[in-house]
Amino acid sequence: MLHIARRLFWEKGYLSTSMADISKAYGCRPANIYNFFSDKEEILFEVLREEMDQIIHPIQHLEEENGLPPPEQLRLIIESHLKVTLSYRRSAKLLFDVALDNLSPENRKKIIDLRDTYDRIIRKVIRRGIESQDWPEIDVKLAGFMIASMITRTRIWFHPKKGVSVNDLSDFIFKFALNGLKGEGRKRWRRL
Amino acid sequence: MLHIARRLFWEKGYLSTSMADISKAYGCRPANIYNFFSDKEEILFEVLREEMDQIIHPIQHLEEENGLPPPEQLRLIIESHLKVTLSYRRSAKLLFDVALDNLSPENRKKIIDLRDTYDRIIRKVIRRGIESQDWPEIDVKLAGFMIASMITRTRIWFHPKKGVSVNDLSDFIFKFALNGLKGEGRKRWRRL
DNA sequence: AGTAGATGAATGGTTATTCATTAACTTCAT
DNA sequence: ATGAAGTTAATGAATAACCATTCATCTACT
C-alpha cells in the first residue's frame, strides 16, 4: 500500500493525489486506508523517509574514514544517490523539497535531519579530499550543494529510452564534479 | 496583481494558493479577479512566462556568435540566470517543472518552447567553446543540464542572510562549471 | 448612456476524515 | 472439536471544509 501511494505521489504529486486515488489503486474504499495510516500526511512521511533512507544507507559508512581514496568515496556517493533518484522515476511531480511543507513540524524535522545527514557525509568526503590533496581548498558546503543539485535534478529531465544510460550519466556527473572540484581555487593550489 | 499572485505562488505553491488568497492580498473579493484573468490557470501561465522571459532575454543575443570568448559567454548565462532565480526568492514552493502540469496543453507548450530556447542557447555556447578549444569534446546536452541544474536548485537552499553573496555564488558556479567542462574528456583533449 | 471595476450570493465540485456497522479470521477456554 | 470472544480489515454514508467559477447587480467614472 505504501508502495502504491509512493507511485501515485511521484506520478501526480502529493496534493493532486486523493485518498480515493490511493484506495482505488489499492483495491479498496477510502475509509479503509485509515486502518493502516492515521492520516494522509503519515503516508507522505513514510514515503519520504523510505526514500531518504535508501539514499543514506549505502553511504552511511563513509561517515567514518575508510581508507578508500576520497575521489572513490565521492564516486560511491554519486552512483548510489543517482540510482535511487532515478529508480522510481516515471514522472517527478512530487518534488522532495516542496512536499516538506505538507508535513507536521515534527515529521518535517525528522526528514530534514536525514537530509542533514546526507549533507554531512558528502561534506566530510570533500573535506577529506582537501586534506589528502586530491583537490584544493574549496567551499565545502557549496561544492556539496552543486554535486547534489546535479544529481537531484536528473529526475526532471532524464529519460532512459534514448540517449545515455544511468551508468553513463553517473560517470559523467562524477567526472564533471571531480574536475569542478579540482579547478576551483586553482591559483592557491598551484602555490602549494 | 500579477505581482501579488507571483509572490503567493512562490511562497505557498500553485495548488495551495486559492483565488481568495490572491484577492485578499490584492485587496478585493475573489470574483473581481475574473475581470482581469479568465481563470486561475491564466495567472499561472503569465507568471511562468514572465519568469522565463526574464531568464532568456538577457542572453538572447548569444544565439548568434558575438566575438566574446565562449567562457565569457558562459559566465554571462550563469550570472544572469542565477540572478533571476534568486530574485523572487523567499521560499520556493512553486517549482517550475511541477507547475507545468497545471497548464493547458497549449500553454504548456509555450512555456516548454521557452525552456527549449534556453537549452538551445546554452548548448550553442558550449559547442562554441569546443570549436574554439576552450574545452574538449563533451556531451553538450549533459553539460548544459548540469550547469542549469546547479543554478536552478539554488532556489531551494540559498539564503542571503549568512554566508556567500549572490555574486560569490555566481563566481563559484562559473568556476565549477568551467572546470567541469575542461576536465571531462581530458585524455582526448591532451592528445590534440 | 455606457463602460470598467467591484461585489454578495449561490453553485457544483472535490476532499479528508469520522463513525457505526459488517464480515472474516484468530485465539482460546472448555 | 466447538463455541465464545476478540481482533483486524473493510465498507457506506455522512460531515464539514474548501475552492474555482458564475451571475446578476451595483457603483463610479467617462
Contacts 24+ apart (CB under 8 A), A168-171: A169/A82, A169/B142, A170/A78, A170/A79, A170/A82, A170/A83
| Mean pLDDT computed over B51-65 | 96
Q: How confident is the model at residue B119 (pLDDT cuts 50, 70, 90)?
A: very high
CB-CB: which of B153, B164, B184 is closest to A149? B153
CA distance B80 to B57: 9
In angstroms, the Cα distances linking B84 to A35, A117, B54 are 47, 30, 7
The whole-number pLDDT of residue B185 equals: 44
User: A25 CB near a chain B CB, below 8 Å?
Assistant: no
Three cell numbers, residue A97: 523539497
Residue B122 has pLDDT above 90, yes or no: yes
Type of residue at B138: I
The whole-number pLDDT of residue A183 equals: 65
> Are the beta carbons of B172 and A142 separated by less than 8 Å?
yes
The whole-number pLDDT of residue A105 equals: 95
**Shortest Cα–Cα distance, B93 to chain A (Å):** 5
Which of chain A's residues have a Cβ under 8 Å away from the Cβ of B186? 179
Tell me, in Å, how far CA of A36 is from C1' of C28? 27
Q: Is the CB of B6 under 7 A from strand D?
A: no
Residue B182 has pLDDT above 80, yes or no: no
Q: Where are the alpha helices (DSSP H) in chain B?
A: 2-12, 19-26, 30-33, 40-56, 70-85, 96-99, 105-131, 140-152, 154-157, 166-183, 186-191
**What is the full DSSP assignment across A133-153?**
TSS----HHHHHHHHHHHHHT
Least confident of A20-34, A160-174, B78-92, B138-152: B78-92
Question: How high does pLDDT run on average in chain B?
Answer: 91
Beta-carbon contacts of residue A63 (< 8 Å; ≥ 6 apart) = A120, A121, A124
To which H or E segment does residue B63 belong? none
**Shortest Cα–Cα distance, B11 to chain A (Å):** 11
Tell me, in Å, how far CA of B70 is from C1' of D8? 67
CA distance B168 to B172: 6
User: B93 CB near a chain A CB, below 8 Å?
Assistant: yes
Three cell numbers, residue B55: 531568464
Type of residue at A10: W
Place of cell 537530509: A115
Higher pLDDT, A168 or B163: A168
Task: Specify whether the CB–CB gap between B69 and B135 falls below 8 A.
Answer: no
**Shortest Cα–Cα distance, B28 to chain A (Å):** 27
pLDDT tens by residue, chain A, 192 residues: 899 999 999 999 999 999 999 999 999 999 999 999 999 999 999 999 999 999 999 999 999 988 999 999 999 999 999 999 998 766 778 888 889 999 999 999 999 999 999 999 999 999 999 999 999 999 999 999 999 999 999 999 999 888 899 999 999 999 999 988 876 444 433 333
Q: How confident is the model at residue B183 (pLDDT cuts 50, 70, 90)?
A: low
Nearest to B87 by CA among B37, B4, B158, B189: B158
The whole-number pLDDT of residue A192 equals: 35
The whole-number pLDDT of residue B184 equals: 46
| Mean pLDDT computed over B32-39 | 97
User: B108 CB near a chain A CB, below 8 Å?
Assistant: no
| Mean pLDDT computed over B28-53 | 96
Entry pTM: 0.91
Residue B190 has pLDDT above 60, yes or no: no
CA distance A144 to B66: 34
The whole-number pLDDT of residue A162 equals: 80
Task: Specify whether the CB–CB gap between A86 and A157 falls below 8 A.
Answer: no
- At B139, is the secondary structure helix, strand, or coil? coil
In angstroms, the Cα distances linking A187 to A191, B59, B74 are 7, 29, 21
Which of chain B's residues have a Cβ under 8 Å away from the Cβ of A82? none
Nearest to A177 by CA among B165, A142, A88: A142
